[in-house]
A and B are shown apart, each in its own frame.
Chain A
């Protein structure tokens, strides 16, 4: 049995059925890519897996560490080892990135304000941060700023990956991390993700375009159209989409991005 098993997942938004039975098994150490045209259900998949309250689960299960995560609160899923890099990270005024990161790390470690031994020390925090900032070509000037406040599109996405590196998940979902990024930013992000690749981490990359897959090589590629997987295979599936786009499923969209200026 795989480490993370999505079985016949069905989900809707405001009464509209979006996911119509999605099954996917991810084991740690693997990188899976889910590709699909606009409106295929990619965002619904990522949000439903993480437990966003705006999405309704209509059926199926997601088993991770012996639990059906669909029955858990979003923060419980995160503490169990899941992570979602948001397509659109939100701006949260009044809370500094430093406070946010530290609180998230402490929560992950089960620090509840009592057992000081579980608390991340300032030294440990700085040490972890330093290495990751270098890889992502970021500096620590963003730490006192409010969460994602005044960040450029690229900075927001890099900050998502930075959080992933700090929180060390076992299953990470990257939701269109490449969208809106210039090629340099994609490379920095990919480098940081590749550094985290290893037997402890399973990755699910959700994307419209093949480009990020040139830098983060997937082991498996799945094509999502109208809420169902229509094709699954190895990296060759991405190559096929690179050439023909989503035409064979009646969608006019290509799988190559327009150049980001």
Chain B
């Protein structure tokens, strides 16, 4: 067994262009070596013990629960991605894996070759709706692969919210998990996107979330990372139209021996664009996290405004957070701010709470919740905010 041409045969009933694309991605996967510690992006991120073939059984082909908002306006397409590839090739073919490139690395290639499940959402020009679309990606067994992919297309002036929730039935499951997303924002569109990763604590997880923003569009993206023994997530926004505005926020809570890696990119390709990134994480036990964030201001992107911050609350002497901000600026007429902090709970805060009779554990829990508090307020819609708050509360415990 393994991820090979034979296992691709399982994915029957797909159009030729998709089959060709999968085969090409599989060839890329076979060609590319596993990333080594000499690659800057993988210097602190050890994948030497990950052998995808251990998990090459696909749990399901379309294991997705989609909640359609009631009264979805006419013209909106919401269906499993594989189905959409059959029904709407003119919308799917030119976009699928055009933002998240299959040849970026071995794992991106493997995901592109074998993705199953996942959603396609198309919202035509001028269509708005308030109730969020909820996509739940479920894994019921361990020892296998669950590789969903989401493709979202917002027409001109479209406005809506979408939630991807990655849920493991068994928190102790092993396996290979992904959860990648491509979002296309048409001119003047406004998209709220939330991804909540709650896979089991022993899985390997790889995700690429990338958006392309057209003129005057606004993306409010919020990533929540909680699961996995190993989780590597790239969050990238390409600001391709003047007036585009990307808000990229994330929280993560690592415990036990979890390892989380985040690489972010704020790519200002044209002028008068704005990006605002805040990644906030808490670590306890012997967990480790790596954050590396790049702000890139391209040559013609004058009057761009970019902000990036990574804040880490380290709750144990044995936990370790690494934060690496990077700037690449080819235009002088811009405003760029970045900052990173890594530190323990402030002892003065702890003393103040305890001096009022609040026991140590309760005080710590309050301070962790407080640390996340103001960023939780930035979750773009109520349903996701409540879900994340409840999830955090149960994990901080």
A53-B351, A74-B351, A107-B362 known; A94-B369 Cβ under 8 A? yes
CB atoms of A167 and B357 under 8 A apart: yes
* CB of A45 closer than 8 Å to a CB of B: no
CB atoms of A92 and B370 under 8 A apart: yes
A53-B347, A107-B362 known; A74-B370 Cβ under 8 A? no
- A63-96 toward B: CB 8 Å interface, digit per residue (1/0)? 0000000000111011100011010011011110
- What is the chain B residue whose CB lies nearest that of A109? B357
Q: How many residues does chain A have at the interface if contact means C-beta atoms less than 8 Å apart? A: 30
| A and B contact pairs by CB, cutoff 8 A, 14 listed | A54-B347, A75-B355, A75-B358, A78-B356, A78-B357, A79-B357, A84-B355, A93-B373, A93-B374, A94-B370, A94-B373, A103-B362, A108-B356, A167-B357
Shortest 9 CB-CB distances between A and B: which pairs? A94-B370, A94-B373, A78-B357, A104-B356, A75-B354, A95-B370, A74-B354, A107-B357, A79-B357
* CB of B371 closer than 8 Å to a CB of A: yes
In addition to A54-B347, A86-B355, A107-B359, 5 A-B residue pairs with Cβ atoms within 8 Å of each other are: A78-B356, A90-B348, A92-B352, A95-B369, A104-B353
Alpha-carbon gap, A167 to B353, bound state (A): 13
Query: Which among B348, B351, B360 has the highest number of chain A CB atoms within 10 Å?
Result: B351
A94-B374, A95-B366, A107-B362 known; A100-B355 Cβ under 8 A? no
- 8 A Cβ contacts from B318-364 to A: 346-349, 351-360, 362-363
CB atoms of A90 and B349 under 8 A apart: yes
CB atoms of B355 and A50 under 8 A apart: yes
CB atoms of B348 and A103 under 8 A apart: no
* B residues apposed to A, CB below 8 Å: 346-349, 351-360, 362-363, 366-367, 369-374
CB atoms of A75 and B359 under 8 A apart: yes
What A residues does B348 contact at CB under 8 A? 90
Alpha-carbon gap, A100 to B356, bound state (A): 9
**Interface SS of chain B: helix, strand, loop or mixed?**
helix
Alpha-carbon gap, A86 to B352, bound state (A): 9
* CB of A121 closer than 8 Å to a CB of B: no
CB atoms of A92 and B349 under 8 A apart: yes
- 8 A Cβ contacts from A144-165 to B: 146-147, 163
CB atoms of B371 and A94 under 8 A apart: yes
CB atoms of A103 and B355 under 8 A apart: no
User: In the complex, what's the smallest C-beta–C-beta distance from A181 to chain B, in angstroms?
Assistant: 20
Alpha-carbon gap, A57 to B26, bound state (A): 68
CB atoms of A92 and B367 under 8 A apart: yes
Alpha-carbon gap, A79 to B353, bound state (A): 12
CB atoms of A104 and B357 under 8 A apart: yes
CB atoms of B352 and A103 under 8 A apart: no
- What is the chain A residue whose CB lies nearest that of B369? A94
Alpha-carbon gap, A73 to B346, bound state (A): 17
Alpha-carbon gap, A93 to B352, bound state (A): 13
CB atoms of B366 and A90 under 8 A apart: no
Alpha-carbon gap, A73 to B360, bound state (A): 9
CB atoms of A163 and B356 under 8 A apart: yes
Alpha-carbon gap, A77 to B359, bound state (A): 11
Query: Which among A54, A84, A95 has the highest number of chain B CB atoms within 10 Å?
Result: A95
* CB of A194 closer than 8 Å to a CB of B: no
CB atoms of A103 and B347 under 8 A apart: no
* CB of A52 closer than 8 Å to a CB of B: yes
CB atoms of B357 and A93 under 8 A apart: no
CB atoms of B354 and A78 under 8 A apart: yes
- What is the chain A residue whose CB lies nearest that of B372? A94
What A residues does B352 contact at CB under 8 A? 86, 89-90, 92, 147
* CB of A99 closer than 8 Å to a CB of B: yes
One of A53, A73, A77, A100 near B353 (C-beta < 8 A):
A100
- What is the chain B residue whose CB lies nearest that of A89? B352
A86-B352, A92-B349, A92-B352 known; A104-B370 Cβ under 8 A? no
User: In the complex, what's the smallest C-beta–C-beta distance from B312 to chain A, in angstroms?
Assistant: 15
CB atoms of A167 and B356 under 8 A apart: yes
CB atoms of A75 and B363 under 8 A apart: yes
- What is the chain A residue whose CB lies nearest that of B373? A94
Alpha-carbon gap, A75 to B359, bound state (A): 6
CB atoms of A78 and B355 under 8 A apart: yes
What B residues does A74 contact at CB under 8 A? 351, 354-355
- What is the chain A residue whose CB lies nearest that of B352? A90
User: In the complex, what's the smallest C-beta–C-beta distance from A83 to chain B, in angstroms?
Assistant: 8
What B residues does A75 contact at CB under 8 A? 354-360, 363
Alpha-carbon gap, A77 to B362, bound state (A): 16
- What is the chain A residue whose CB lies nearest that of B358? A107
User: In the complex, what's the smallest C-beta–C-beta distance from A173 to chain B, in angstroms?
Assistant: 10
Alpha-carbon gap, A52 to B374, bound state (A): 28
What B residues does A93 contact at CB under 8 A? 370-371, 373-374
User: In the complex, what's the smallest C-beta–C-beta distance from B376 to chain A, in angstroms?
Assistant: 9
What A residues does B351 contact at CB under 8 A? 52-53, 74
What B residues does A78 contact at CB under 8 A? 354-358
Alpha-carbon gap, A83 to B356, bound state (A): 7
Alpha-carbon gap, A53 to B363, bound state (A): 15
Alpha-carbon gap, A54 to B352, bound state (A): 13
Alpha-carbon gap, A115 to B17, bound state (A): 63
One of A52, A73, A99 near B366 (C-beta < 8 A):
A99
User: In the complex, what's the smallest C-beta–C-beta distance from B191 to chain A, in angstroms?
Assistant: 27
Query: Which among A78, A89, A108 has the highest number of chain B CB atoms within 10 Å?
Result: A78
What A residues does B357 contact at CB under 8 A? 75, 78-79, 104, 107-108, 167
